[in-house]
Structure 1
Amino acid sequence: MNVTLRQLRVFCAVYERRSFTSAAEDMHMTQSAVSKLCAELESELGLPLFERTTRRVVPSDGAAELYECAQEVLNTMRIAARRLSALRTLDRGSVGIAASPMMMYGLLKPVIQEFHTAHPDIDLDLYELSTDETIDYVRTGKCDFGLVSVSASELDPQLLARVVYAQPLALACAPQHPLAGKKWVTWGAISDLEHITLRSVYSTRRTVDRILKAQGLELRSTIQAGTLATALGLVKGGASVTLIPGYARQYAFDLGLKVLDIEEKTPYLHELSLLTRRGLKPSIAAGAFIEHMDTLLQRFSGPPRV
């Protein structure tokens, strides 16, 4: 078969979006070019891959199998490209970074700004994802590295994790909340409150669950938010509280919220690890970014900053 990588990339885009129009937008191509490449692929394979109607695109029999194989091929090529990029200099190149939206804003923003100022010709690709999505992006070579909270038992054998940040969690509440006048609170007192929690796809929720399990506690919650920004926005209304990592403190302050420390004899830390693919040497650009990030993150680790 004479199948090209471009045909596979376009096929995967159509398969994922179920739309030639959306796939064309994602690929920065015309719809006619996308349709032509898919038709060429179908001709080469000798079977139709999509049923085209006026309203939607439906994958045909065999499309799922081809998608799985195509992803393996494209992942291999992405990893090969990142290995070759290690030979480049800081005069050009790109760095792919995956982390949650709040990590990007509250933790990595100064790193990104300073690195971009120092190396304006390096492209920075920011992927704001859940913990599971970040792990998948690193594993498949879609980015250079990720920032996640992950335990050793959860770690994929293809990946390496190194802790680069550790701070206690804190409690955010509205200025009118009964706790707003306090400076600190205990985990026992926290468990009696009505909470807005995050879904377990984010590392903050996983740390909260680990701490609660260790103490034999549960949280009362009727609202699960998809992002920390949403949870804090709801807390601003005054009905509930939410637990936040240290890097979200400034965002909470900017919203006018009160942030309470959590006092315990043995502090429980929210740890974040630099996640990389085992055996994949970072490019010069990615290595420089990681080195710069390590230096700046040392300022954030340790006791909470008020």
Structure 2
Amino acid sequence: MELQQLRYVVAVAETRSFTRAAQQCHVVQSALSHQVAKLEREIGARLFDRTSRRVDLSAAGEAFLPAAREALDAAERARAEAAAVSGVVSGRLRLGAIPTVTAYDLPSLLRDFRAAHPRVDVSLRTDGSQELVAQIATGTVDIAFLGLPPGRVPRGVRSRIAGRGEHVAVVAPDHPLADEHRTDLASLAPYPFVDFTAGTPGRLQVDEAFAAAGVERHVAFEVTTGDLAAGLVAQRLGIALLPGAYAATLAGVRTVEIADAPVREEHVAWSRHRPSPAAAAFLEMLAASSAG
């Protein structure tokens, strides 16, 4: 069993196509198919169910895939650790972030990180805070930027608070409150709301603030991103409460400060296990940025 064979299997599993997998791996399809077939003979089981239209993982393939990914990650980690001894940081850095992160300017951070460590390849995904914590635990994300209600600490990972900020009301330009400088939750409650999915940290921050104020509201639309919430607000479908620093970047809407505003804490989270050289270098850069 060779690492290249494992790479081919993972590529086919991700693309669901031998043709696309070969393109992704920069190899002719016949060579990739031959190596996958050779591995299947060695294992004694078919890893893929093939038809003329699609390729799916077989039961054996579903069982094989997680260990194949772990083996490839271990090989990459070994290569990066060896290179780090000579002072060269290499490998892959896998970052995750909520869409509304504001504690850091991620593009600027990645620009500086790339300049310092040009041999590190970076992948960046957006997701909810709960999902990102789970991905750190499974090893699919190295470092994530989260948003949580005050006092909440992500479980099963290491973390620190990166920032804290208040929400503002986001309204359409012609909304009755658009020209107000400041309002409160009781004044906002009669209007329909656009908010994140119930049970998510982004939603809990606002739900808990309304509960603490003893005020009820109606969420007419549930969304998964702040940008989509702003789009619905601009169409006069409701109002939204979003982190102030994030809301300031939105176009086509107005923002109003809230006297008893919900509060969000942003966290940087990473694995309890020893970070890879690339992840350790990025954490050092974050620490230096915070100290500055």
Q: TM-score range by the shorter chain?
A: 0.7 to 0.9
Of the three residues 105, 120, 125, the one matched with 1:128 is 125
Matched, 1:262 2:239: no
Question: Structure 1 residues 134, 89: CA separation in 2 closer, same or farther (over 3 Å shift)?
Answer: farther
SS in structure 2 at match of 1:230:
helix
- Does the CA-based 8 Å contact 1:50-1:59 persist in structure 2? yes
Question: Structure 1 residues 198, 153: CA separation in 2 closer, same or farther (over 3 Å shift)?
Answer: closer
Question: Structure 1 residues 230, 295: CA separation in 2 closer, same or farther (over 3 Å shift)?
Answer: farther
| Residue number in structure 1 paired with 2:269 | 275
Amino acid at match of 1:37: Q
In 1: Cα distance, 2:28 partner to 2:200 partner = 36
In 2: Cα distance, 1:196 partner to 1:204 partner = 12
Of the three residues 165, 168, 173, the one matched with 1:167 is 165
- Does the CA-based 8 Å contact 1:168-1:245 persist in structure 2? yes
Percent identity between matched residues is 26
| Residue number in structure 1 paired with 2:116 | 119
Any unmatched runs of 5+ in structure 2?
none
| Residue number in structure 2 paired with 1:237 | 235
- State which drifts further: 107-116 or 161-170: 107-116
SS in structure 2 at match of 1:181:
coil
- Does the CA-based 8 Å contact 1:184-1:262 persist in structure 2? yes
SS in structure 2 at match of 1:103:
coil
| Residue number in structure 2 paired with 1:208 | 206
Deviation at 1:113, TM superposition (A): 3.8
- Does the CA-based 8 Å contact 1:95-1:122 persist in structure 2? no
Deviation at 1:129, TM superposition (A): 1.8
- Does the CA-based 8 Å contact 1:83-1:280 persist in structure 2? no
- Does the CA-based 8 Å contact 1:165-1:298 persist in structure 2? no
Residues 120-146 of structure 1, C-alpha deviations (whole Å, 9 max, x = no match): 735461412212442244334444311
In 2: Cα distance, 1:125 partner to 1:222 partner = 38
Amino acid at match of 1:149: G
* TM-score computed with the length of structure 2 as normaliser: 0.80
SS in structure 1 at match of 2:267:
strand
Question: Structure 1 residues 62, 291: CA separation in 2 closer, same or farther (over 3 Å shift)?
Answer: closer
Of the three residues 13, 18, 21, the one matched with 1:20 is 18
In 1: Cα distance, 2:186 partner to 2:38 partner = 64
SS in structure 2 at match of 1:232:
helix
Bigger RCO (CA 8 Å, 6+ sep): 1
SS in structure 1 at match of 2:101:
helix
SS in structure 2 at match of 1:62:
helix
Residues 57-90 of structure 1, C-alpha deviations (whole Å, 9 max, x = no match): 1322322222243344445556656655654647
SS in structure 2 at match of 1:101:
coil
Question: Structure 1 residues 56, 26: CA separation in 2 closer, same or farther (over 3 Å shift)?
Answer: same
Matched, 1:247 2:230: no
Amino acid at match of 1:166: R
Question: Structure 1 residues 196, 12: CA separation in 2 closer, same or farther (over 3 Å shift)?
Answer: same
1:1-306 to 2 correspondences below 5 Å: 3-77=1-75, 87=85, 89=87, 95-103=93-101, 107-116=105-114, 119=116, 121=118, 123=120, 125-130=122-127, 131-150=129-148, 155-157=154-156, 159-199=157-197, 203-215=201-213, 217-252=215-250, 255-264=251-260, 268-281=262-275, 283=277, 286-294=279-287
- Does the CA-based 8 Å contact 1:78-1:141 persist in structure 2? no
- State which drifts further: 210-219 or 6-15: 210-219
- State which drifts further: 162-171 or 23-32: 23-32
In 2: Cα distance, 1:184 partner to 1:248 partner = 18
Deviation at 1:97, TM superposition (A): 2.3
Deviation at 1:270, TM superposition (A): 0.5
Question: Structure 1 residues 4, 150: CA separation in 2 closer, same or farther (over 3 Å shift)?
Answer: farther
Residues 192-236 of structure 1, C-alpha deviations (whole Å, 9 max, x = no match): 221222236964234334434545555423322232222212222
In 1: Cα distance, 2:80 partner to 2:244 partner = 32
- State which drifts further: 107-116 or 219-228: 107-116
* TM-score computed with the length of structure 1 as normaliser: 0.77
Deviation at 1:180, TM superposition (A): 0.2
Amino acid at match of 1:261: E
| Residue number in structure 2 paired with 1:302 | none
Deviation at 1:275, TM superposition (A): 0.6
